[in-house]
Amino acid sequence: MAESGELLRAGDRAWIVDVTPDRIASVVVAARAQAWSALLEDVIPAARSIMFRAHASSDMRVLADNIRHLLHTTDVVEPTGRPDRETVVIPVRYDGEDLDDVARSLGMTPDEVVEAHAAAEHRVGFFGFAPGFAYIDGAPDSLKLPRRPSPRPRVGAGLVAIAGTQTVVYPGGTPGGWHLIGSTTEVLWDISAANPSRLSVGDRVIFEVVGR
């Protein structure tokens, strides 16, 4: 997908711009480091675009100028995530109810699925669908599967699932059409915390095997 570079208005306080997936994390991290980020209420990445939401509609013109400059000067870099944590380790018990079916569909054993998933290089790509729902890129092509034909009506918190080349750790209470391969006791989404999400765009994620 080519970048259009065109900023599209989203309501009275937001701009949306198409960004190629390999640049999403770099642009988000760079935007949050700018002095003019004080104008922003939020930066919201998606799979192929970023929304920049301003505190005030009166800042939209100056914000647009700064966003355009940022897009023309930000290269693809390996983002470091939060300053205080470059890597988030998530212990996983690979006991998901779909694990055996996933292995059969891929022509692998369950142990091979676990090994391939845990050995991959994962990174948070963007958030969407529901609060705390982080799309984590990096599952290998050998594990690539479409989503389930029929989603579950409700998936509990901490269940680890795959679809395509992405992984999600369900925040809880949402429907889910991804393949459940494991679970974690790590709390990644806590609405009572000052910062509810343990993950941010660009964070490196290690899925650590703690059992089957």
pLDDT digits (tens, 9 = 90+) for 40-50: 988 888 878 88
- Give 155-194 as a DSSP string: E-TTEEEEETTEEEE--SSEEE-SEEEEE-----B-TTSS
Residue range(s) occupied by CATH 2.40.100.10 in the chain: 87-211
pLDDT band at 3 (very low <50, low <70, confident <90, very high): low
Percent of the chain beyond pLDDT 70?
92
Cβ-contact 166, 196 below 8 angstroms: no
* CATH class of the region 7-73: alpha beta
Q: What is the mean pLDDT of residues 71-88?
A: 63
Residue 154 has pLDDT above 70, yes or no: yes
pLDDT at 113: 98
Please list, in sequence order, all residues whose beta carbon lies within 8 angstroms of the beta carbon of residue 84, skipping any fewer than 6 positions away: none
pLDDT at 82 over 50: no
pLDDT at 128 over 90: no
Strands 152-155 and 174-176: antiparallel
Give CATH 3.30.1360.40 domain extents, the chain.
Answer: 7-73
> Sorting pLDDT into bands at 50, 70 and 90, what band is 76?
low
- Quote the pLDDT of residue 84: 44
CATH 2.40.100.10 fits 87-211, yes or no: yes
Q: Is 26 helix (H, G, I), strand (E, B) or coil?
A: helix
Mean pLDDT of 189-195: 85
Most confident of 86-90, 109-113, 186-190: 109-113
- pLDDT for 126: 83
Among the residue ranges 28-37, 40-49, 164-173, the one predicted with the least confidence is 40-49
Chain-wide mean pLDDT for the chain?
88
> Does residue 77 surpass a pLDDT of 80?
no
Q: Does residue 79 register a pLDDT over 70? A: no
User: What average pLDDT does the segment 53-73 reach?
Assistant: 92
Strand 122-127 to strand 134-137: parallel, antiparallel, or no bridges (unpaired)? antiparallel
